[in-house]
Structure 1
Amino acid sequence: MTNTELSAGRSAKRIAVPDEARLRSPLKRPDYQDTFAIGAPGADAESAEQWARRVFEAAPAPVRMITRLGWLSFGAKLGPAGSPGHVAGWTIGQAEKDWIRLEVVWAVGLRAHLVLRPRTSSFALSTFVEYDRRAARFVWPGVMPVHWVIVRYLLGHAAKTFAGERA
């Protein structure tokens, strides 16, 4: 990610999945993967967990509610929202200052990992999905367009609130 590719205050862009993000997800052969990134000068001033909470738990209440209901409708096995071991119900699989991996298993046969990485001038969210059951191959393609819209919105909202706090 370069500064010319990701301008602060712009919408999140889909970028190639970095090898660094792939290394953070222990899924052996993900059936789907993507990365969205957005400019946010000074993003590395906050830890990856702080960013994950900003992205998912500091979104407007209606967005949080719709997102959680969407996850639950497909059988996401979520933990308690806002608890120390979870972010928006997703289990914290591993966390370091500069990256965090969130994990969830879905009753429809999906296993998903989210890897969030803040950098000096941007932050990125990578999604990795592995199908555990045949049904999942039919569910995820229908969910993908909604996933893309929600991820772009959540990243954009987080970047704007971060910029507003730093202004």
Structure 2
Amino acid sequence: MEPDTDTLRSCCTLDRVDHVDTHLLVTDDPFARTPEQWAREILEGPSAAMRARLTAGWTMLGLRVHHLGPDAIAGWPIAHRDADYVLLHGDSLLGLTGQLVTRVTGGGVEFATFARLAHPVARAMWARVLPTHLEIVERLLREAAERTG
């Protein structure tokens, strides 16, 4: 089973998308948690070392994702939340705008990254970190599946 990329794209509010990657976390009971709870599990549930690595990576990209409180997940401001999906939004001083979408379906938990790369520096940085980004997202989803049984 594959994530529904078109539906995930419809959750994104960026005026232009230069990069998208979609992933599926297969679990026995995806509806046991809301999309927001899944996003928190995926991004806030990892070890302190992994959370520090995530924060360092986002900071290196210039993303301003250091928000606290119930309207943020792992520092990312919540731009939208409902029963179907949660949308996180972060802006970078380097011309990168990122959005993370977590959506719950009967097939599992869909997780997507959308990026607008509005500056050559942002494009160069993203090209350099993309392989690591993809590895880390797969690891985050795998570990979330293990933690939630």
TM-score category of the 2 structures, normalised to the smaller one: over 0.9
Q: Which runs of 4+ in 1 moved over 3 A?
A: none
Q: Distance in 2 between matches of 1:80 and 1:16?
A: 29
CA contact (8 A) 2:3 2:24 kept: no
Matched residue, 2:57: 70
Give me the identity figure in percent: 31
Q: Distance in 2 between matches of 1:77 and 1:101?
A: 16
What's the secondary structure of 2:66's corresponding residue? coil
What's the secondary structure of 2:113's corresponding residue? strand
CA contact (8 A) 1:17 1:33 kept: no
Match of 2:129 among 123, 143, 165: 143
Calculate the TM-score normalised by the size of structure 2.
0.94
Aligned residues: CA RMSD:
1.4
The structure with more radius of gyration = 1
Uncovered stretches (5+) of structure 2, i.e. residues with no partner: none
Calculate the TM-score normalised by the size of structure 1.
0.84
Q: How far did residue 17 of structure 1 move? A: 5.6
Q: Deviations over 1:23-71 (max 9, x none)?
A: 1001122011110112111111210000000001111111001111111
Matched residue, 1:80: 67
What's the secondary structure of 1:77's corresponding residue? coil
What's the secondary structure of 2:120's corresponding residue? coil
How many residues in Structure 1 have an aligned counterpart in Structure 2?
149
What's the secondary structure of 1:141's corresponding residue? helix
